[in-house]
Amino acid sequence: MHTISGDQALLARHQRAVRLSVDAVEGAAGAPLSVETPCAGWDLRALLEHMGTQNRGFAAAARGEDDPAVWEARRGADPVGDFLRSADEVVAAFAEPGALTRTLALPEIPPGRFPATLALGFHLIDSVVHAWDVARSVGRTIDLDPDLAPTALRVAEAVPTGASRQRPGAAFAPALETPDESATLDRILRVLGRSPEWQPR
């Protein structure tokens, strides 16, 4: 009987996480780029530019590249289109033969170098949470499929807590109290400092 390796299962879940972010961005297309998002201080344009930059950075790392300039945000005329192209790029990069055996250079995350499968988890949770951020900015939400949800929660719970989350520019805010009956998506959001009740003003 043929079985799927753990790495390949994680890769498939990562692809679904990226697809979730693509669906959210496509659902927000046409919304003003100035709308507020759950990411403090970022409007939709800034969030999309950040997401596209992260996709390109992780894609470059998955290809074995080590270029800090790739991680610098770009301001373009078409942030939606730029993001969608970057989503295709990161999925393709991680699917390349040998990509999951590499040690990846991720200059924004100390100590800066990680096994590819660990980096894949970082990008997976980033994709899930930012999919929700984009959806909430236009008054929507996301549906987290039951196969992806436990992996996303496990990665979210592994994100370091403490003083690092209170620094300016921290990827995630301090965790919020999580009621025992919380759904998995709500639990992920609260663990990473997001309120599931957030609404655009």
Q: Can the peptide bond before residue 168 be classed as cis, meaning omega within 30 degrees of 0?
A: no
Query: Which residues sit opposite 114 in a β-bridge?
Result: 104
Task: Please give the pLDDT value at position 4.
Answer: 40
Task: Please give the pLDDT value at position 40.
Answer: 86
Task: Please give the pLDDT value at position 5.
Answer: 52
Per residue in 67-98, pLDDT (tens digit) is: 999 999 888 889 999 999 999 999 999 999 99
**Could you tell me what percent of the chain has a pLDDT over 70?**
96
- Rounded to two decimals, the pTM is 0.93
- The residues, ordered by sequence, that sit 6+ positions from 18 with a Cβ below 8 Å of its Cβ are 55, 87, 90, 91, 123, 127
CA dist., res. 191 & res. 157, Å (int): 7
Tokens (6 digits) for 32: 């003003």
Query: Per CATH, is 6-163 categorized as 1.20.120.450?
Result: yes
- Do the beta carbons of residue 150 and residue 40 sit within 8 Å? no
Task: Please give the pLDDT value at position 169.
Answer: 65
Spans of all domains in the chain? 6-163
57 — pLDDT class (breaks 50, 70, 90): very high
